[in-house]
Structure 1
Amino acid sequence: MSPGLRHRLRILFGTRLGLSTAGRACAVQFGVLSGAAQLYLTFWPDSTLPRGTTFLVIAGVALAGGIVQSWPRDRVSHDFTHPQFSVTLAIGDLFDQPCHLVIGFNDVFDTDTTDDLVIARRSVQGQFLHRVYAGEVDRLDRELAVALTGKQPVAVEERAAKRAGKLSRYPLGTVAVLGLPARRYFLSAYGTMRNDLTVGSGPDEVWHSLGELWRALHVHARRETVAMPVIGSDLARIDTMDHASLIKLILLSFVTTSRQSVVCKELTIVVHPEEYERVDMLELAAFLRTL
């Protein structure tokens, strides 16, 4: 049995939400089928339809139909009205999304992935350098410098204190916008790169950074679809929040802001396949419907 199938079975039959969702779906299916059978017997009371067999068939079909209907998906979406926008949660590769992308960065906008000392090559930041910029760190740094023009650093570290990486610190929430109008990259600084080369952040910092990110998207994304990772789950070590809580924080911030003014027509939050087992899509779909 594959890990993905085990995870789906655990969500469906090993959680209260999964069992209640499947139970309701099975009950609805059973009610519809039972109603159809009773209607049939009303019009054809002399039918020789075996009662016991009919009940077992209806129960079996209702059970199978309920499970299929409530089976955890790799992708869930919800459409909002007044104003109109939509949110999608998807399992996949962020860089395969054909739209504008959000990339989480630290407050010094480090880009060096040499020996994984400053930035891990496997991180979203590292993948951004190697998959979008073909590893050309100098080109990325030049474009970053242009994007950050007019944004004043709040501090500049000494090389003796920070042995590697960049030294100029920008306010958390700073967004550097790269790329062309057809596909923008929004580099959002939501974590602090400490001088020991570890990154730290927290719920308050992420919430503030998200607010600044939505403002940048409103100005530069032209209300087109935007995809983003679960920021705070990889680069920054937010020990007080699990994966699902971070997703809920992003959803709450985006929907709250979009209720006031549309940020973009669709936001897709992309969960890496390796993180799928840490995400209950049924729970998140239910959370979306409450917003």
Structure 2
Amino acid sequence: MLYVVYKVTEPLKILINLRGAGTELNIYFGNIFSKNEKSHLAIPVNEFFDTQLAGAKGPSGDIVAPNSIHGQFITKVYNSDSVKLDDDLNVALSGIVPNDLPRYLGKTSQYPIGTTAVIGSGKYRYLLFVLSCTDPITAKAKSDVPTMWNALEGLWTSVRNYSNGLPVALPLVGSGQSHVGLDSINLLRLIVLSIIKSSEGQRITSQINIVLHESVMRDVALRKIKEEFN
């Protein structure tokens, strides 16, 4: 009963006009991979841009959790075709010299936090950005607040350079496999603050959409977020 009352009294979508940023910020519950999402999509990945799903067999090893945003991107957008995704990533990252780090599973080309690969050829593209570090032995991803902040700075720079002013959507990054260590509402606050900070002096893009999964509905009071940032 309390959950029903919560859903009735709390908004499922809010609009925040970021003063001086020139950006409309929408925060709402939904599916970031919905066909109704008319925007570029920002996808958090690990620093190796791994493409092999856990449970699959391939040269990259079994690294990416299928239920993560990274994993869902591979299955929903690339139909689990890791070879095609690897080809596109190689082109997108060709101008960046990685560090070579041998490890037990997965790729060995390691990229800095915040590195963003822009892939896709349509009006709306995909921005895969490095959010987490990976244990070379266990392949477990991990991140923290400073790392997430740096990752978002790298993302916003790429959005500014490649979005052509079009909307960009991202999930509640840091809430899944990256294990940042903040609860959902504080992760959301961190993302909003990073947008505000990165907008100082130069607009990021016309619109940013933060798409929240329904599983965090009980933990995120959108009314409170709107009051804090409006």
**Structure 2 length-normalised TM:** 0.91
Are the aligned partners of 1:104 and 1:235 in contact in 2 as well (CA < 8 Å)? no
Are the aligned partners of 2:21 and 2:196 in contact in 1 as well (CA < 8 Å)? no
* Counterpart residue type for residue 267 of structure 1: I
Q: Does 1:283 align with 2:228?
A: no
Query: Hey, what's the Cα distance between the residues in 2 that align with 1:207 and 1:263?
Result: 16
Tell me: CA distance 1:179–1:82, structure 2 relative to 1, closer, same or farther (3 Å). same
Are the aligned partners of 2:166 and 2:206 in contact in 1 as well (CA < 8 Å)? yes
Query: Hey, what's the Cα distance between the residues in 2 that align with 1:118 and 1:80?
Result: 38
Q: Quick check: 274-283 or 218-227, which moved more?
A: 274-283
Identity of aligned residues (%): 27
Structure 1 position 2, deviation (Å): 8.2
Query: Hey, what's the Cα distance between the residues in 1 that align with 2:111 and 2:7?
Result: 42
Structure 2 residue aligned with 1:99, among 19, 34, 39?
A: 39
* Counterpart residue type for residue 27 of structure 2: L
* Counterpart residue type for residue 123 of structure 1: S
* Counterpart residue type for residue 48 of structure 2: V
Query: Hey, what's the Cα distance between the residues in 2 that align with 1:155 and 1:280?
Result: 43
Aligned residues: 222
Structure 1 position 82, deviation (Å): 3.4
Correspondence list, 1:155-166, <5 A: 155-157=100-102, 162-166=103-107
Structure 1 position 6, deviation (Å): 4.4
Give the structure 1 partner of residue 53 of structure 2: 113
Query: Hey, what's the Cα distance between the residues in 1 that align with 2:115 and 2:160?
Result: 15
Secondary structure of 1:277's partner?
A: coil
Note the alpha carbon deviations across 1:41-68, whole angstroms, 9 max, x for none: xxxxxxxxxxxxxxxxxxxxxxxxxxxx
Q: Does 1:182 align with 2:123?
A: yes
Structure 1 position 259, deviation (Å): 3.1
Give the structure 2 partner of residue 234 of structure 1: 176
Give the structure 1 partner of residue 59 of structure 2: none
Are the aligned partners of 1:90 and 1:269 in contact in 2 as well (CA < 8 Å)? yes
Note the alpha carbon deviations across 1:185-217, whole angstroms, 9 max, x for none: 000101001121111111101111111111100
Q: Does 1:204 align with 2:146?
A: yes
Whichever of the two has the greater Rg, that structure is 1
Q: Does 1:148 align with 2:93?
A: yes
Structure 1 position 181, deviation (Å): 4.8
Secondary structure of 1:176's partner?
A: strand
Higher relative contact order (CA 8 A, sep 6+): 2
Secondary structure of 2:218's partner?
A: helix
Query: Hey, what's the Cα distance between the residues in 1 that align with 2:81 and 2:218?
Result: 34
**Structure 1 length-normalised TM:** 0.73
Are the aligned partners of 1:76 and 1:88 in contact in 2 as well (CA < 8 Å)? yes
* Counterpart residue type for residue 269 of structure 1: I
Tell me: CA distance 1:142–1:226, structure 2 relative to 1, closer, same or farther (3 Å). same
